[in-house]
C-alpha cells in the first residue's frame, strides 16, 4: 500500500514532480496521438458526494482523451451514500471496479479516509473548504504556459481571500518558487487568514494588502479573480458599496500591463465583466483547457504510466 | 519511591497536583476491579505539590495519552512488590483515540467509525492538528 501515490494536497507533490506534470501536459498537446490510447482498458471512477459539474467533466474528459473509460456518480443523492453508506465502504467497493478514483466530498479530510481504505490512487477533487489540488495544478500550468515561468512574478489575488481555498492553495504552491510577490486585493472583511500570512512571512516573500484593485493593477503579471459573495457581508450597505470595486471591466483593465494574465477558477458570476472575455489577456477559459491537460498528466503519473 | 500496597502493578508519580482525578477518568481506572489508590497533595521537593496514583494490577497504560496530558509524570512499574523500572514520558508525535476533532466540517464529525488522530506540529506550544482536516485542537 505504501507505494501508492495519491494527491490530497498540492504539497504532496515535489517541485520536480510538478515540473514533470507540466512537461507531460505540454507533450500531450504536441503529440496527441501518443496519448489517445495510452489508458485503454483503464477505468477512472468519479465519486462526487457533492455536485461539481465542471470539475467532474474535466476529470472525465481527461480520462476519455487518454482512451480510458469512466464510471461514477455526480451527487450523493443518486448514490449509495444517500442511503448512509460511508466514504470508507463506498471507496472499498469502487476500488474493486476502477483503477483510479477522483472524488469530491463536502467534508474536510474525506479523501484521506478514502486513501486508507483502498490501494487504488485517490485524487482529491475538493474536500469542503480544505484542499483542491487539481485546481492549483491547473493554475500553475496556466501561468507556466502564459508566462513561460513560475518564478519572478507579481501575482495579484482579488476578491474573497478569506474563504477562497483556491487562493490559499495557489499562494502555498507559489511560495515554493523564487521571487514571487503577492498583492492581496480584498475588502477588509475578506482578507487572507492569519495562518497564510504566517506562512508567507516564514518563507520571507514580499506581500502587500490593499483594498483597491485600481491601485494594484499596474504592477501585476497575474490577476487571479474570485467572487465576492453577498452572504459574506454583515450588512447590505457594505456589500453594495464594495461589490463594484471588485468587478474587472475594460475601463479598469486600461491600467494593467499589456501582458497581464487574467485568471479565474470559474464559475464566475459578475466579477469579470463579459466585455473582458475577448481581451487577449483573458485566460480563464484557456485555464479550463489547461485543467484537462494537467489532469491527463496527473492520471498518467498516478497510474505509473508516465 | 514508596510502592507500598502494590504487588504487581504501576505507580504514577509526579502528577501535577489536582490532576489525578482527570487521569483516573482518562485511563478508566474505575473499570478495574483491583485496588486503586489516589494520593493527593503530596509534598515534593522537586515540584512543590504532586499527586500519586497506585494501581495494583498489571495494566497496559496508554503512554501516549498520558504523555499528552502531562509529560512530567513518571510511570513506575512494580513487580513482586519491588520497583522494576521507571518510564519517562514524552509528548507523543501522534495521538490516536485520545482527543476528538471539534471541527464540524471534518469528516470525523459525520462518520463515527473513523479513528480520531492528531499529529504534533509544535512541541513548544504543544499544538496538535487533526490528520484529516488540519484543524488545531484547542
Ligand atoms: Zn478534523
| B71 and B29 fall within a common domain | yes
3-class DSSP assignment, residue B106: strand
How many alpha carbons lie under 13 Å from residue A14 in its C-beta half-sphere? Answer: 4
- pLDDT-derived band at B46 (thresholds 50, 70, 90) equals confident
> Which pLDDT does position A243 carry in this prediction?
74
> From the list B111, B113, B132, which residue is nearest A108 (CB)?
B132
CA angle A289, A290, A295 (to 5 degrees): 105
> Does the pLDDT value for residue A81 go beyond 70?
no
Residues measured by CB to lie within 5 Å of ligand 1, the ion? B 101, 103, 106, 130, 132-133, 135
Query: Which residue do the cell numbers 509529560 mark?
Result: B71
**In this structure, is the dihedral angle defined by the CA atoms of residues B47, B51, B54 and B55, taken in order, positive or negative?**
negative
| B64 and B98 fall within a common domain | no
Structural domain tally of chain B?
2
- On whether residue B107 sits in a domain, the answer given is yes
| B38 and B100 fall within a common domain | no
Tell me the residue range of the domain where B108 lies.
94-137
> Does the pLDDT value for residue B6 go beyond 80?
yes
A88 touches chain B (CB under 8 A): yes
Question: Is-contact A15 A172, C-beta < 8 A?
Answer: no
Question: Is-contact A159 A227, C-beta < 8 A?
Answer: yes
> Which pLDDT does position A227 carry in this prediction?
87
Question: Is-contact A271 A226, C-beta < 8 A?
Answer: yes
- pLDDT-derived band at A80 (thresholds 50, 70, 90) equals low
Which residues from chain A sit within 8 angstroms of residue B131, using beta carbons? Answer: 109, 112
> From the list A88, A113, A129, which residue is nearest B105 (CB)?
A129
> Which pLDDT does position B45 carry in this prediction?
79
| B27 and B80 fall within a common domain | yes
> Does the pLDDT value for residue A114 go beyond 80?
yes
CA distances from B60 to B10, B11, B84, B90 (A): 10, 12, 15, 17
> Which pLDDT does position A3 carry in this prediction?
80
> Which pLDDT does position A85 carry in this prediction?
78
- pLDDT-derived band at A83 (thresholds 50, 70, 90) equals low
Burial of A274 (0-12, 13-18, 19+ CB in 10 A): exposed
- pLDDT-derived band at A302 (thresholds 50, 70, 90) equals very high
Fold for the domain defined by A10-131+291-303: Rossmann fold (3.40.50)
Q: Which of A187, A186, A211, A184 is nearest to A196 (CA)?
A: A184
Average pLDDT over all residues of chain B: 90
A107 touches chain B (CB under 8 A): yes
Average pLDDT over all residues of chain A: 93
Residue in chain B lying closest to A84 (CA): B111
| B71 and B127 fall within a common domain | no
Q: Which of B44, B46, B51 is nearest to B21 (CA)?
A: B51
> Which pLDDT does position A62 carry in this prediction?
98
> Which pLDDT does position A230 carry in this prediction?
75
For chain A, percent of residues with pLDDT exceeding 90: 82
The mean per-residue pLDDT over the stretch A140-147 comes to 98
Tens digits of per-residue pLDDT, B86-115?
Answer: 998 989 999 999 899 999 999 999 998 899
| B118 and B52 fall within a common domain | no
- On whether residue B130 sits in a domain, the answer given is yes
The mean per-residue pLDDT over the stretch B42-59 comes to 87
Which residues of chain A form CATH 3.40.50.1370? 10-131+291-303, 134-288
Tens digits of per-residue pLDDT, A241-295?
Answer: 777 789 999 999 999 999 999 999 998 888 999 999 999 999 999 999 999 999 9
Which residues from chain A sit within 8 angstroms of residue B105, using beta carbons? Answer: 106-108, 128-130
ipTM field? 0.86
Report the distance separating Cα A245 and Cα A259, nearest Å. 22
| B83 and B99 fall within a common domain | no
B11, B14, B19, B24: CA torsion to nearest 10: -10
- On whether residue B3 sits in a domain, the answer given is no
**A132 catalytically annotated:** yes
Helices A284-302 and A53-65 cross at an angle (nearest 10°) of 60
- Residues in Cβ contact with A217 at an 8 Å cutoff, skipping those fewer than 6 apart: A156, A223, A252, A253, A255, A256, A260
| B23 and B59 fall within a common domain | yes
Tens digits of per-residue pLDDT, A147-163?
Answer: 999 999 999 999 999 88
Please tell us whether the domain made up of A134-288 is placed in CATH 3.40.1160.10: no
- On whether residue B2 sits in a domain, the answer given is no
- On whether residue B28 sits in a domain, the answer given is yes
Which residues from chain A sit within 8 angstroms of residue B132, using beta carbons? Answer: 108-110, 112-113
| B76 and B30 fall within a common domain | yes
The answer to whether the peptide bond before residue A267 is cis (omega within 30 degrees of 0) is yes
> Does the pLDDT value for residue A1 go beyond 50?
no
- pLDDT-derived band at A54 (thresholds 50, 70, 90) equals very high
> Number of Cβ pairs closer than 8 Å across A and B?
47
| B63 and B121 fall within a common domain | no
**In this structure, is the dihedral angle defined by the CA atoms of residues A105, A110, A116 and A122, taken in order, positive or negative?**
positive
Q: What are phi and psi of A72, to 5 degrees?
A: 145, -165
> Does the pLDDT value for residue A2 go beyond 60?
no
B133: domain CATH number is 2.30.30.20
- pLDDT-derived band at A78 (thresholds 50, 70, 90) equals low
State the DSSP string of chain A. -TT---BSSGGGS-HHHHHHHHHHHHHHHH-GGGTTTTTTT-EEEEEESS--HHHHHHHHHHHHHTT-EEEEESSGGGSGGGGT--HHHHHHHHTTT-SEEEEEESSBTHHHHHHHT-SS-EEEEEETTS--HHHHHHHHHHHHHHHS-SSSEEEEEES-TTT-HHHHHHHHHHTTSTTEEEEEE--GGGPPPHHHHHHHHHHT--EEEES-HHHHGGG-SEEEE----GGG-SSHHHHHHHHGGG-B-HHHHTTS-TT-EEE--S--SSSB-GGGTTSTTB-HHHHHHHHHHHHHHHHHHHTT--
Q: Which spans in chain B are helix H?
A: 20-26, 63-69
> From the list B105, B109, B114, which residue is nearest A113 (CB)?
B114
| B69 and B26 fall within a common domain | yes
> Which pLDDT does position A269 carry in this prediction?
85
B42: domain CATH number is 3.30.70.140
Kindly report the number of other CB atoms within 10 A of residue A218's CB atom.
10
Amino acid at each position: 500500500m505504501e507505494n501508492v501515490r495519491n494527491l490530497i494536497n498540492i504539497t504532496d507533490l515535489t517541485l520536480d514532480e510538478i515540473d514533470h506534470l507540466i512537461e507531460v501536459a505540454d507533450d500531450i498537446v504536441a503529440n496527441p496521438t501518443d496519448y489517445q490510447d495510452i489508458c485503454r482498458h483503464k477505468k477512472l471512477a468519479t465519486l462526487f458526494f457533492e455536485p461539481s459539474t465542471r470539475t467532474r467533466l474535466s476529470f472525465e474528459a481527461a480520462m476519455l482523451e487518454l482512451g480510458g473509460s469512466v464510471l461514477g456518480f455526480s451527487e450523493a443523492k443518486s448514490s449509495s451514500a444517500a442511503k448512509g453508506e460511508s466514504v470508507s465502504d463506498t471507496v472499498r467497493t469502487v476500488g474493486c471496479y476502477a483503477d483510479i478514483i477522483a472524488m469530491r466530498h463536502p467534508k474536510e479530510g474525506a479523501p484521506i479516509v478514502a486513501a486508507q481504505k483502498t490501494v487504488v490512487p485517490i485524487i482529491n477533487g475538493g474536500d469542503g473548504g480544505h484542499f483542491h489540488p487539481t485546481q492549483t495544478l491547473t493554475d500553475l500550468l496556466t501561468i507556466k504556459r502564459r508566462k513561460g515561468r513560475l518564478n519572478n512574478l507579481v501575482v495579484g489575488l482579488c476578491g474573497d481571500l478569506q474563504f477562497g481555498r483556491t487562493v490559499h492553495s495557489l499562494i502555498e504552491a507559489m511560495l515554493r518558487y523564487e521571487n514571487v510577490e503577492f498583492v492581496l486585493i480584498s475588502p477588509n472583511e475578506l482578507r487572507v487568514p492569519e495562518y497564510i500570512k504566517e506562512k508567507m512571512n516564514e518563507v520571507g516573500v514580499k506581500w502587500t494588502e490593499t483594498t483597491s484593485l485600481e491601485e494594484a493593477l499596474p504592477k501585476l503579471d497575474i490577476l487571479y479573480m474570485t467572487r465576492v459573495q453577498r452572504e459574506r457581508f454583515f450588512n447590505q450597505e457594505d456589500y453594495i458599496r464594495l461589490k463594484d470595486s471588485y468587478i474587472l471591466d475594460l475601463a479598469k483593465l486600461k491600467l494593467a500591463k499589456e501582458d497581464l494574465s487574467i485568471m479565474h477558477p470559474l464559475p464566475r458570476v459578475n466579477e469579470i465583466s463579459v466585455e473582458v472575455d475577448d481581451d487577449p489577456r483573458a485566460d480563464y477559459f484557456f485555464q479550463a483547457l489547461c485543467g484537462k491537460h494537467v489532469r491527463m498528466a496527473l492520471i498518467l503519473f498516478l497510474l505509473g504510466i508516465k | 519511591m514508596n510502592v507500598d500496597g502494590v504487588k504487581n502493578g504501576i505507580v504514577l508519580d509526579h502528577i501535577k497536583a489536582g490532576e489525578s482525578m482527570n487521569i483516573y477518568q482518562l485511563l478508566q481506572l474505575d473499570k478495574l476491579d483491583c485496588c486503586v489508590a489516589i494520593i493527593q497533595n503530596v509534598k515534593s521537593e522537586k515540584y512543590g505539590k504532586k499527586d500519586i496514583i497506585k494501581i495494583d494490577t498489571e495494566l497496559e497504560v496508554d503512554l501516549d495519552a498520558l504523555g499528552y496530558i502531562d509529560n512530567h509524570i513518571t510511570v513506575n512499574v512494580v513487580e513482586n512488590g519491588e520497583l522494576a523500572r521507571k518510564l519517562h514520558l514524552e509528548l507523543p508525535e501522534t495521538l490516536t483515540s485520545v482527543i476528538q476533532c471539534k471541527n464540524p466540517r471534518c469528516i470525523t464529525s459525520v462518520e463515527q467509525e473513523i479513528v480520531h488522530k492528531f499529529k504534533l506540529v509544535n512541541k513548544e506550544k504543544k499544538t496538535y492538528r487533526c490528520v484529516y482536516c488540519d484543524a488545531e485542537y484547542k
